Structure 1
Amino acid sequence: MSTAKVKRCVGKYELGRTIGEGTFAKVRFARNSKTGDAVAIKILDKEKVLKNKMVEQIKREIATMKLIKHPNVVRLYEVMGSKTKIFLVLEFVKGGELFDKIVNHGRLREDEARKYFQQLINAVDYCHSRGVYHRDLKPENLLLDENGNLKVSDFGLSALSLQVRADGLLHTTCGTPNYVAPEVLNDKGYDGTTSDLWSCGVILFVLLAGYLPFEDDNVINLYKKISDAEFSCPAWLSSDAKRLIKRILDPNPITRITIPELLEDAWFKKGYKPPIFNENCDTNLDDIDAVFKDSEEHHVTEKKEEQPAALNAFDLISMSKGLKLGSLFDREQEFKRETRFSSKSSANEIMSKIEEAAKPLGFEVQKKNYKMRLENMKAGRKGNLNIATEVFQVAPSLHMVEVRKAKGDTLEFHKFYKNLSTSLKDVVWKSEED
């Protein structure tokens, strides 16, 4: 490989690895080349936005999100546009997902779960007061900062096709089935406030129990359990916690507990500290209109990479917990939806080995530069499992390979990774200590 590397830049930001992926957007780690500050950049396809006539609606959503400056909501700093894409520059939260904490360590103690739930309700209540609804609340969308404080991601951005009809209700069925409120599933319209609160109730149950209240491999049976609120609390929960969960997971949105009532609940109020923050600092909204203008003067410049992305010390630190670089090449792989390994093989050899290992497992392979997309043609519990891989250069003779679940079930990804790692024994580099 040539030693000259071309990084991909968007305006003043140098783009790094992909840290999240959805149906309509991708999120990449980036840093401000002028200040060195870490950010996350969400990339949307402008053609899809224009095709669905969502411009004015998205402008309103983004303007509202820029005005939201709550300590428990991921901040939206600025918006940029190119000829084909929209870039949302977001706060980078380095502590990982709450989901990983649960699956790796099991259920939380009531006092710890209560703290996260209080922060979640603070964020949800604040955003609702400004007419912003999430509609896809789940542990995977709850991040933790380096101090262990909860940050809700994608608030107002996860459902950009938000539509309120003349009856004042939303009518788009969306979200993750296990966390979705019954009224969302029956397609008769729903209130974003009460449906978000239901999802918060499911999250609270998961935090305290370590498993989902509603689960079934058959989607019809799952929907029936949700519609009937057919669940039971584990015996180890306190009576106050059980009582609150049942008031939140009330299948009737009219009688379901409201947030003002929740704030007065005995279990919720224990150790409660209202958030203290300043939301009156100036916010510039000029960049939102500029994003959708066709003139070149309003477009940011994009430079594309042609070689494996090189990782410097800044990138390595961003990928590890705090400043502990020892956790970079993960030894504990279980239940993660993103994992990495190091290799002294060439980038091309690594790519070939992954392709050879994936195809017998039923995956179709797409390659571009030093990135690969693997798609299992057989649908699993949550649709087709999609895997994204990328090769990074750490040093001339050392590469790091990231393997990430882009779509599908986390446990199926874990099973895939075990099979893959068996096939790649000759490629993976281990130190003498390992």
Structure 2
Amino acid sequence: RIGPFLIGPLLGNSPVKCISQYLVRKEGTGKYFMAKVFTENQKPGETRSGKMLLHTEHSLLSLLSSHPGVIRQYGLFKVRTDGRIKDTSCNPTSGDVTPRVGLIVDCLVRHEKSVATNNYLNLQQHVIQVKRLSEREALRIFHSVVSVIVSLHKMNVVHRDLKLGNMVLDKRTRKITLINFCLGCHLNSERDLLTDQLGCPAYISPDVLSDKPYAGKPSDMWSLGVVLYTMLYGQFPFYDQAPKKLFAKIKTAEYSIPSSGQASANTNDVIHGLLTLNPLKRLTAVEALDSIESCAAAWYVLRTPTTPAQVVPDVDD
């Protein structure tokens, strides 16, 4: 068990290797949540990394607790090792004794214990299912996503792992919730620069790949450009099975809009504004939101053709 939560089965794929996700139920209730716990059999350094990621996510979600569109957390609790989860993180011979803890968050993954979770679908799964979204639906969803990012950036919080798989759609309400803040960062000021290379390869910005200190907010916005492009065209703007070739395309912003003409010129301009090499000229969250609202207003007088679509490749993070 983890605090007052009883541990159930593993849930889905974790966003990072050193953390596992479990379905848990709060004792004495029928309420289910997700617990994020250190993965078993990790090396001491990876255990420390996992603990740091959990504490980072807990800290950021606590800061953002009142913000709509952000997954809710319910605290960090010690893992009681009763055999359900083996406590392999304490290694006396290595001198690394790290008590295991679990972070409890809302469960936005389908599971058999609650029919309500049938409404949850991350956007990666959604795009794979429908192949690509209509311009109207893509703009509606993207507006919701960027609205959340505006709030985060105003608080100097950067997510650093924005991708379709970290955005959960409630099919009933059509609302979006951002998840997996373990790679995020709370900047001290607008002038703060980052140096570490984090994120999913297909969504990573040229700033992160530059081997130079970079600003976190423009990097988030680049990732959102990849999100919008992929929703509209059913494929990534930058893709190659070889990481070096993929990163070379990203560093030069080597992409093109498919000739199918799925989206209007105004919407494509938003993509171009987000996938701009110079981070100082890239659209900010506020600018992107204004542009999306203009696109949505103009969209109703435009007709978009229907053409065969590609399926989004399921890139392994």
Q: So what's the TM-score if we normalise by structure 2? A: 0.75
Counterpart in 2 of 1:88?
A: 103
Q: How does 1:333-344 map to 2 (within 5 A)?
A: none
Bigger Cα displacement from structure 2, 39-48 vs 24-33: 39-48
Aligned equivalents of 1:163 and 1:149: distance in 2?
27
Does residue 29 of structure 2 align to residue 39 of structure 1?
Answer: no
Q: Which of 1, 8, 22 does residue 16 from structure 1 map onto?
A: 8
Does residue 236 of structure 2 align to residue 212 of structure 1?
Answer: yes
Does residue 265 of structure 2 align to residue 239 of structure 1?
Answer: yes
Aligned equivalents of 2:63 and 2:253: distance in 1?
36
The answer to whether the 8 A contact 2:36-2:102 is kept is yes
Q: Give 1:143 deviation, angstroms.
A: 1.3
Q: Give 1:219 deviation, angstroms.
A: 2.1
Counterpart in 1 of 2:58?
A: 62
Counterpart in 2 of 1:72?
A: 69
For the residue of structure 2 that corresponds to 1:15, the secondary structure is strand
Aligned equivalents of 1:169 and 1:208: distance in 2?
32
Aligned equivalents of 2:275 and 2:313: distance in 1?
29
Q: How does 1:257-296 map to 2 (within 5 A)?
A: 257-265=283-291, 267=293, 270=296
Aligned equivalents of 2:262 and 2:54: distance in 1?
45
Does residue 128 of structure 2 align to residue 103 of structure 1?
Answer: yes
Change (3 A) 1:213 1:335: closer
Change (3 A) 1:141 1:182: same
The answer to whether the 8 A contact 1:164-1:171 is kept is no
Structure 1 gap segments, 5+ residues each: 1-8, 272-333, 338-381, 383-407, 410-434
Return the letter of the residue paired with 1:113. Answer: A
Aligned equivalents of 1:266 and 1:53: distance in 2?
37
Return the letter of the residue paired with 2:176. Answer: L
Return the letter of the residue paired with 1:29. Answer: L
Q: Give 1:71 deviation, angstroms.
A: 2.3
The answer to whether the 8 A contact 1:163-1:170 is kept is no
Q: So what's the TM-score if we normalise by structure 1? A: 0.56
Counterpart in 2 of 1:320?
A: none
* Percentage of matched positions with identical amino acids: 27
Q: How does 1:278-317 map to 2 (within 5 A)?
A: none
Q: Give 1:210 deviation, angstroms.
A: 0.6
Q: Which has the larger radius of gyration?
A: 1
Q: Give 1:206 deviation, angstroms.
A: 0.4
Q: How does 1:124-143 map to 2 (within 5 A)?
A: 124-143=149-168
Aligned equivalents of 1:335 and 1:240: distance in 2?
23
Does residue 184 of structure 2 align to residue 188 of structure 1?
Answer: no
Aligned equivalents of 1:139 and 1:261: distance in 2?
21
Counterpart in 1 of 2:177?
A: 151
Q: Give 1:267 deviation, angstroms.
A: 5.0
Structure 1 or 2: larger strand share? 1
Deviations 1:376-434 (A, max 9, x none): xxxxxx7xxxxxxxxxxxxxxxxxxxxxxxxx48xxxxxxxxxxxxxxxxxxxxxxxxx
Counterpart in 2 of 1:279?
A: none
The answer to whether the 8 A contact 2:60-2:184 is kept is no
Return the letter of the residue paired with 1:179. Answer: Y
Change (3 A) 1:106 1:87: same
The answer to whether the 8 A contact 2:61-2:71 is kept is no
Structure 2 gap segments, 5+ residues each: 80-97, 109-116, 298-310
Q: Which of 138, 157, 172 does residue 113 from structure 1 map onto?
A: 138
Change (3 A) 1:176 1:63: closer
Aligned equivalents of 1:34 and 1:267: distance in 2?
46
Over the aligned positions, Cα root-mean-square deviation in angstroms equals: 3.2
Return the letter of the residue paired with 1:70. Answer: H
Q: Give 1:129 deviation, angstroms.
A: 2.2
The answer to whether the 8 A contact 2:230-2:312 is kept is no
Return the letter of the residue paired with 1:248. Answer: L
Aligned equivalents of 2:200 and 2:104: distance in 1?
25
Return the letter of the residue paired with 1:35. Answer: T
The answer to whether the 8 A contact 1:98-1:142 is kept is yes
- Structure 1 outlier segments of 4+, above 4 Å: 45-55, 57-61, 162-165, 266-269, 334-337
How many residues get paired?
267
Change (3 A) 1:335 1:40: farther
Q: Give 1:135 deviation, angstroms.
A: 1.0
Counterpart in 1 of 2:306?
A: none
